[in-house]
Each structure stands twice: as C-alpha cells, then as structure tokens.
C-alpha cells in the first residue's frame, strides 16, 4: 500500500455534540461504576452506565495473539487476520437491538466511498463482546456486510469474530472500550465508535459516533499504514447504547431519540426550504408585474 504524507486532522464529532446540546445524550465525561444492576440514583443515571465509555489509549499495543473464532468457526488470532495491513476494529455484539447495527452500517457506508480497497489495503475486524454468541451469527453478519460492500476483497477482508470472555475483555481493555452487561434487560451497555490500528497492532486513531466521514477514515488508514499515531479527540461526546428513563425504571435505545431528532430536523429543514422556494417564486412573479405597471405609468406620462 502506498503511504502518503498527510497532515494531522482531528476527527469530527459534530452529530454527537449537537445531540448532547439538545439534551438527547447522556452527559459527556468519564464515568465509573460499582454495580451492574440498574438502580435509581440522585443523578437519574443507571449504575450500568457508570462504567461505560471509550478511553483513548493512543499508541497502546493490542494483544495480537489472542484466540478467537471466525465466521466459519475456525480458530484465528488477530495477527493472522491483520496480515501486515492497517485495521479498522469494531467492538459490537451481533444481537444488539440497534446501535451496533448503526456502527456497522456507518462503517460500511463510509468504506464504500473510500478509494482504498478492503482486503488489499486494509482489513476490518469486528469482534462480538458477547461471549455467548456463536459463529452462526458472525457468518450471517459477514455474508450481509461483505455483500453490501460490493467489492471482491470484502469476503476475505472483513472478519466477524466471536470469542471467550477473558479474551474479549483483554482486547477491549487494550483499546479503552469499557462496556457492561445488564442482567435485567439482558443487553450490553456500551459506547459507539471505531478504532484504527497500525499494521503492528498499535492504536492509531479513534472515530466516535455512528457516522464516519470517508475522508477521515481514508486519512486515518494512510496514517496507520506508516505506523503513525494520530491525535486524541478532544471534547468527545459519546453515543451510548442505553438510555434510562428513571420515571419508568426501564431502558430505551438512545438511537430512538437520535432518529426522532433527525426526523424533526429533517421536517424543519424541508419546511424552511419550501417556504424559501415559494417566497422566491412569489417575488419573481411580483417583479415583472411591478415593472409592467411602472412602464405603463411612464407611457401615460409621456403622452
């Protein structure tokens, strides 16, 4: 892969920041917890979310010899799959109600716009954080996303893995991915984002949220290919998989709030566009009429 010289560029987290300002996301910042059972507390935040986040461990070495199972239930290590290329690492779980799918969809949509080729210039490794999930789920995800990518390299370039709890936790800890399991809802609480690794398995850059600009991913992969370590994302606001309603004592997907907000913004934008369009059309119609009336007055005056 040809390595290009590029300037440092900070990934954008505009969507997450906007949603946080709108009050649709949990407050930003590092959170810690002692208990995974959701309970009421003075802040209204469930305990399950108090140890969830994404610590930026730039230049940290990922353990490449951990054992996982690929989508065909074959034993593999990260070192074997990386094959001397930079890697986009996504930590999700395959039965996640919505947010994990949004992370994978965001990754897919961005990579389709990136001129680099998966399997040739870089690899994508998706690891389930749920130790109870099996390769049959990984295989279904692999078939779908490799097909949607639409390039031949995806079949051998996008890997969907499952593994045992200790290996999953060790990998997650090495990239600062803090998650928690809620036995009440039987779901995992986690933040969203992707991690770019160098060919040697060092953390090069983080991209947070569920939408990743193709230019950001391309530059991150080029940086990582030459073993460069990017800059930390400052003032990052994370999207969390869980949203807790203290009035009902139940969890709901924060993505639902995102979709509602997006729909409201879209409707507002369309309404504004229609208003401007009709207003401009009205002015164009009035202008010729006014011009013709003035011309008539001038003609009568000259007589």
Q: Which of 239, 269, 273 is nearest to 256 (CA)?
A: 239
Q: Where are the domains of the chain?
A: 14-258
pLDDT of residue 18: 36
**CA angle centred on 126, ends 121 and 130, rounded to 5°:** 170
pLDDT of residue 136: 97
Distance CA 130, CA 71 (A): 15
pLDDT digits 0-9 by tens, 258-291: 445 555 566 676 667 676 766 766 666 665 555 5
Distance CA 232, CA 67 (A): 29
The string over 129-164, giving b where at least 16 C-beta atoms fall within 10 Å of a residue's C-beta and e elsewhere, is: bbbebebebbbebbeebbeebeeebbeebbbbbbbe
For all residues of the chain together, what is the average pLDDT? 77
Q: Which of 296, 257, 91, 92 is nearest to 175 (CA)?
A: 91
**Protein fold of 14-258:** Glutaredoxin (3.40.30)
| 3-state secondary structure (DSSP) of residue 247 | coil
pLDDT at 76 over 90: yes
Distance CA 298, CA 303 (A): 9
pLDDT of residue 53: 87
pLDDT of residue 1: 43
Distance CA 64, CA 80 (A): 8
Range name among 91-95, 169-173, 242-246 with the lowest pLDDT average: 242-246
pLDDT digits 0-9 by tens, 95-151: 988 789 999 999 999 999 999 999 999 999 999 999 999 999 999 999 999 999 999
Give the predicted TM-score (pTM) of the model: 0.67
């Amino acid at each position: 892969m040809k390595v290009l010289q590029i300037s440092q560029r900070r990934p954008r987290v505009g969507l997450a920041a906007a949603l946080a300002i709108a009050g649709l996301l949990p407050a930003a910042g590092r959170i810690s917890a002692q208990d995974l059972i959701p309970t009421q507390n003075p802040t209204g935040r469930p305990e399950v979310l108090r140890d969830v986040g994404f610590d930026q461990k730039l230049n940290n070495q990922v353990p490449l010899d951990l054992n996982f199972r690929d989508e065909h239930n074959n034993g593999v290590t990260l070192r074997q799959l990386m094959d001397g290329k930079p890697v986009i690492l996504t930590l999700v779980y395959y039965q996640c109600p919505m947010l994990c799918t949004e992370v994978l969809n965001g990754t897919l949509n961005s990579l389709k716009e990136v001129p680099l080729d998966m399997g040739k210039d870089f690899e994508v490794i998706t690891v389930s954080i749920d130790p109870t999930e099996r390769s049959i789920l990984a295989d279904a995800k692999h078939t779908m996303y490799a097909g949607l990518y639409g390039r031949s390299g995806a079949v051998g370039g996008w890997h969907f893995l499952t593994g045992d709890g200790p290996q999953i936790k060790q990998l997650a800890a090495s990239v600062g991915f803090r998650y928690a399991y809620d036995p009440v809802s039987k779901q995992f609480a986690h933040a969203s984002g992707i991690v770019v690794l160098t060919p040697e398995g060092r953390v090069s850059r983080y991209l947070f949220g569920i939408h990743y600009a193709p230019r950001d991913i391309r530059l991150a992969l080029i940086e990582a290919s030459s073993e460069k370590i990017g800059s930390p994302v400052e003032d990052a606001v994370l999207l969390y998989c869980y949203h807790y309603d203290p009035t009902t004592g139940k969890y709901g997907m924060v993505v639902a709030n995102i979709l509602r907000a997006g729909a409201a913004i879209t409707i507002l934008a369309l309404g504004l566009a229609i208003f401007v369009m009709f207003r401009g059309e009205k002015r164009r119609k009035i202008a010729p009429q006014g011009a013709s009336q003035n011309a008539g007055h001038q003609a009568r005056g000259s007589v």
